Amino acid sequence: MRCLVTGCAGFIGSHLAEKLVQSGFEVMGIDSFTDYYDRRIKEANVQGLLKSGKFTLVREDLLNMDLDKVLERVEYIFHHAAQPGVIASWGEHFESYSQNNILATQRLLESARKISLKSFIFASSSSVYGNCELPMREDRLVSPISPYGVSKLACENLCYSYWKNFGVPIISLRYFTVYGSRQRPDMAFHKFIRAILKGKEITIYGDGNQTRDFTYIDDAVNSNILAIEKSCSGEIFNIGGGSYISVNGAIKLLEEIIEKRARIIYKEKRKGEMEATWADIGKAKKMLGYNPRFNLKEGLFKEIEWIKGIMDK
Ligand code: NAD
């Protein structure tokens, strides 16, 4: 069975591609190694994969490559390529979000509609919700409050249109803040852990009482496998970690695990950041059999160990 993982050199995509290879799939990965963060990190993310005879890396850009050609023989698409990051999505940077998220997704869908696929998984985000009623449920009205969230919602809606009109077997997974090894260097836990280990200051934007539902990488990856096993095209699922905690609470937990105090400075809240995220995962539990296996303490312990291992490299 042949899969395509877009964004295969990124944080989630590289873990997913590894899991698929281990599960016996033949995997083709596409990544353009964008410079949103250090490309050497992305190169390191694919090192293990490149040793496998079941993995092929295509270093191309979804925006201009011949997708019809690469999609021949593909049965499953896991579309994880994107321009991530909420704060960076304002101003002139939005061009990158509209290109790498909206336009790239539309190009991929155009090619996907010409072939017979078993599943097309789209990596969506809790950012589509905005400040809505908690816990967040898939049937609630979504009102993103950042350009990034708007771009991910546009992608979800495009996916829905291609499912409705052409039967592309879309499933959208709305990830809630994923963490663990290879977490992007712009993400909060990555920055916090490095700062605590090095005795440097942590900046919190706002009073730290904003809450987040954190999802361990293995659980996020597993949700993709569950999604292709079930036939639920056209559906959207929240993929959360099963609990939520304030940013201050999460830092306390980090201090406890690392056994070192954090030096925190508080700054004004930034535009686009949500007050709270909290996933109602009832639908994913019921329809996919999704059940997050890692609690925050276990998951953070693993991320800390990973960061210690790469810190001075
Ligand atoms: P990431 O930046 O580590 O990975 C994305 C990859 O896509 C990068 O390697 C980048 O080079 C590649 N890419 C971007 N544009 C491309 C293009 N035009 N052509 C080919 N490759 C391209 O990000 P991540 O954190 O692994 O996120 C993966 C997906 O999950 C994204 O779609 C993101 O929106 C979504 N998501 C992530 C989180 C999270 O907590 N990390 C939460 C919600 C949703």
Helix (H, G, I), strand (E, B) or coil at 94: helix
Q: List pLDDT tens digits, range 133-184.
A: 999 999 999 999 999 999 999 999 999 999 999 999 999 999 999 999 999 9
Is there a catalytic annotation at residue 148? yes
pTM of the shown model: 0.98
Structural tokens at position 155: 């992608």
Distance of CA 107 to the CA centre of its chain: 20
Model pLDDT, residue 313: 62
Q: What are the pLDDT tens digits along the chain (313 aa)?
A: 799 999 999 999 999 999 999 999 999 999 999 999 999 999 999 999 999 999 999 999 999 999 999 999 999 999 999 999 999 999 999 999 999 999 999 999 999 999 999 999 999 999 999 999 999 999 999 999 999 999 999 999 999 999 999 999 999 999 999 999 999 999 999 999 999 999 999 999 999 999 999 999 999 999 999 999 997 999 999 999 988 999 999 999 999 999 999 999 999 999 999 999 999 999 999 999 999 999 999 999 999 999 999 987 6
Relative to the CA of 83, which ligand 1 atom is closest? 14
Q: Is the CB of 10 under 6 A from ligand 1?
A: yes
Q: How far is the CA of 9 from the centre of ligand 1 (A)?
A: 9
**Using one digit for the tens of pLDDT, what is the confidence trace for 71-94?**
999 999 999 999 999 999 999 999
**DSSP, residue by residue, 107-145:** HHHHHHTTS--SEEEEEEEGGGT-S-SSSB-TTS-----
- Is the distance from CB of 262 to CB of 195 less than 8 angstroms? yes
For residue 117, report the distance from its CA to the centre of ligand 1, in Å: 22
The CA 131 to ligand 1 mean position distance, Å, reads 23
Instruction: Determine which residue's CA is closest to atom 34 belonging to ligand 1.
Output: 84
Single-letter code of the amino acid located at 60:
E
pLDDT value at position 311? 87
Inter-residue contact 77 to 141 (CB < 8 Å): no
E-state strands within 25-162: 26-30, 55-58, 76-79, 119-125
Let me know how many helices (H) and strands (E) the chain has, helices first.
11, 13
Mutate to test the pocket of ligand 1, among 109, 125, 189 (most ligand atoms within 8 A of CB): 125
Cα torsion 246, 242, 17, 23 to 10°: value is 150
